[in-house]
Amino acid sequence: MSRTNDATSRSPGRQAGLGRLLLPALGLVLAVVSLLYMLRPIWDSDFFWHLKTGEWILEHRRLPAADPFSYTAPAEVTPAVRFTLTTYWLSQLLFHALHAAGGWTAIALMRFLFAGALFAVVWSRRRGDPVVSMALLLVFAVAFLETNPVERPQTLSFICFGLLLRLLDGLRRSPGESPLSARGYRDPLLVALLMVFWANVHGGHALGQATLIVYLVVEGVKFAHCSLGPAGRGAYRRLLAAGVAGLLASLLNPNTYHGLWLALATPTIAPGSHGLLTISEYLSVLEALRINHSYIRVVDLAMMALAAAAVVSTLRRPDLTEAVLAAGTGYFAFRHTRYFPVFMIVALPLVGEFLSRHPWRAWGRALAVSSALLLVGLFAWNERQGLRRLRSGEWVIPSRYPVKAADFIVARNLRGNMYNYYTWGGYLIWRLGPERKVFLDGRNLNPEVFWEGSMIDNAFALGGRPQWESLFEKYDVSYAVVPLELKGKPVPLVGGLSRDPRWAAVFIGDNAVVFSRK
């Protein structure tokens, strides 16, 4: 008996000692993983038009009232177009200022700051066993960095969302104090400052508005019955004050309320349409697995299952607010993978607490740690070639973007209307705009042009005549910048232009070819 008791008494000590070793070890792995991903080249083409827009805003000391970078933008500036042109202005100025001051090295350092801030916010909301929480943070880091360019403005949205959740959870769980107390003034001010910043760096502040409404409504509903665990009345009054202040502050942006909601209600490319299959972040989790073979999405499904189990396990004493947030963000994340970081920020504390419960704590720790290390081996380890970038300093890869083609266009002073491949639009805006305007780019300001670009690239025929011919005549295209091949297959448009005697290939380099009309 005594031997058994001694073994039992030593077991928690061994677990505590193991935890003291695992926690810093996992933290070190997280730092190494972050370094590997931060050394990726600039692979998000939209980042370039953000850079150029920041430069344009600084030069003109105003926000663009019409698109200065494409000649196919709609003549009428709709609320959706205005929203895209103006909603990122503060982050665009930040990007341009950093790049102007320190080049791509400064952008790489910005990546570290953004990723560090995001991971710190997620860690600050941890619950349960710290080792489990650190392992889950590592899972989140690999899944996020594998699929999300950190330099995009939406990373600021994820950071702001995590901060907002922390502020609101602190408000609803704090002891009741008068809204007229010092803290009663401070909390609404913090929420308001966060929302006004968020509303001017990224349009995702709509998520913040929805979150504020969910907290105010659901926490109010809890007063219907004591079994729902309502907050104290004083705490709810302070939550109400902070929520109202945040909602009002979020309207202090170039689009106030109507431009944002109209833009979201009438997206430039309709969700569920076939064209979205070419944009990976609009795919559902299952579509990403089936079409793009993006196996990192298995993490999405596993986290959804664990979050559902965590919510079900608390049905005897449910937290209705957390359940609503997990269900809502989980639904949108399943429909479109771009929202999965939002769901993970909500779900990780629930899953961490669930895996840390006494009956299966050891199994939960083993599952979390082994899953994190498996993901590091399968995905993050493949990024180690980026270490060479510390010596080369090559952040814009010519095989990915038409670097030399843009040099040729400037050197030869090609003029007239340009046709360009969709993914290269942002880079060409940065290199050639606004003197030379693009045909289309990742902003998708004109839905009709998006479809026309697809018909041109694929050289679809109508009535025996390739549609690129009629569309080039429609837009009076003088030269075209297109890739030689995509995913190892030749681009049909290249063959069509090569066979047409009215066009000549005037430049071929890396993976780009420039055709000019004779």
Give SS3 for 148. coil
Token representation of residue 55: 């430069």
Q: How far is residue 146 from each of residues 139, 143, 294, measured CA to CA in Å?
A: 11, 5, 10
The mean pLDDT value for 124-150 works out to 96
Task: Tell me what pLDDT residue 179 has.
Answer: 53
Token representation of residue 173: 């769980």
d(CA 262, CA 266): 6
Residue 270 has pLDDT above 50, yes or no: no
Sign of the torsion angle spanned by Cα atoms 362, 359, 303, 307 = negative
The mean pLDDT value of the chain amounts to: 89
Question: H-helix or E-strand containing 372?
Answer: helix 361-378
Instruction: Report the chain's terminal Cα–Cα distance, integer Å.
Output: 96
Task: Tell me what pLDDT residue 277 has.
Answer: 41
Residue 311 has pLDDT above 60, yes or no: yes
The mean pLDDT value for 398-418 works out to 95
The mean pLDDT value for 478-507 works out to 94
Domains with residue ranges and CATH for the chain: 403-517 (3.40.50.12610)
Residue 355 has pLDDT above 60, yes or no: yes
Task: Tell me what pLDDT residue 7 has.
Answer: 41
CB 299 within 8 A of CB 347: no
Task: Tell me what pLDDT residue 258 has.
Answer: 61
Residue 399 has pLDDT above 90, yes or no: no
The mean pLDDT value for 53-59 works out to 98
CB 48 within 8 A of CB 155: no
- Say what percent of the chain tops pLDDT 70: 90
Task: Tell me what pLDDT residue 272 has.
Answer: 35
Q: Over the Cα atoms of the chain, what is R_g?
A: 26
pLDDT per position as a tens digit, 338-353? 999 999 999 999 999 9
Task: Tell me what pLDDT residue 264 has.
Answer: 52
CB 395 within 8 A of CB 108: yes
What phi and psi, each to the nearest 5 degrees, are found at residue 402? -80, 65
Task: Tell me what pLDDT residue 142 has.
Answer: 96
- Among the ranges given (79-88, 257-266, 327-336, 388-397), the one the predictor scored with the smallest mean pLDDT: 257-266
pLDDT per position as a tens digit, 83-113? 999 999 999 999 999 999 999 999 999 999 9
Residue 11 has pLDDT above 60, yes or no: no
CB 23: neighbour CB atoms within 10 A? 16
Buried b (16+ CB within 10 A) or exposed e, 194-217: bbbbbbbbbbbbbbbbebbebbbe
CB 313 within 8 A of CB 364: no
The mean pLDDT value for 15-43 works out to 87
Task: Tell me what pLDDT residue 266 has.
Answer: 47
Per-residue pLDDT band at 410 (split at 50, 70, 90):
very high
Give SS3 for 30. helix
Task: Tell me what pLDDT residue 345 has.
Answer: 98
What phi and psi, each to the nearest 5 degrees, are found at residue 488? 80, 0
Per-residue pLDDT band at 1 (split at 50, 70, 90):
very low
CB 476 within 8 A of CB 416: yes
Task: Tell me what pLDDT residue 59 has.
Answer: 97
The single-letter DSSP state of residue 69 is: S
Per-residue pLDDT band at 273 (split at 50, 70, 90):
very low
Task: Tell me what pLDDT residue 10 has.
Answer: 47
Task: Tell me what pLDDT residue 276 has.
Answer: 40
Looking from the CA of 197 toward its CB, the CA atoms found within 13 Å total 15
Task: Tell me what pLDDT residue 265 has.
Answer: 53
Token representation of residue 209: 């508005």
Task: Tell me what pLDDT residue 377 has.
Answer: 94
The mean pLDDT value for 363-381 works out to 94
CB 108 within 8 A of CB 39: yes
- Say what percent of the chain tops pLDDT 90: 68
In terms of Cβ atoms closer than 10 Å to its own Cβ (0-12, 13-18, 19+), residue 231 is buried
pLDDT per position as a tens digit, 145-181? 999 999 999 999 999 999 999 999 999 887 655 555 5
Residue 120 has pLDDT above 60, yes or no: yes
- Among the ranges given (67-81, 179-193, 430-444), the one the predictor scored with the smallest mean pLDDT: 179-193
pTM of the model: 0.91
Q: Which is more confident, 493 or 182?
A: 493
Helix locations, 41-178, DSSP H: 46-60, 79-86, 89-124, 130-147, 154-173
Task: Tell me what pLDDT residue 12 has.
Answer: 56
Buried b (16+ CB within 10 A) or exposed e, 43-81: eebbbbbbbbbbbbbeeeeeebeebbbbebbbeeeebbb
Q: Which is more confident, 385 or 140?
A: 140
Task: Tell me what pLDDT residue 28 has.
Answer: 96
Which residues, at least 6 apart from 36, have a Cβ–Cβ distance to it below 8 Å? 380, 381, 383, 384, 386, 387
Task: Concatenate the DSSP letters of all residues of 274-332 into one string.
Answer: GGGGGSGGGS-HHHHHHHS--TTHHHHHHHHHHHHHHHHTTTTS--HHHHHHHHHHHHH
Token representation of residue 454: 């697809």
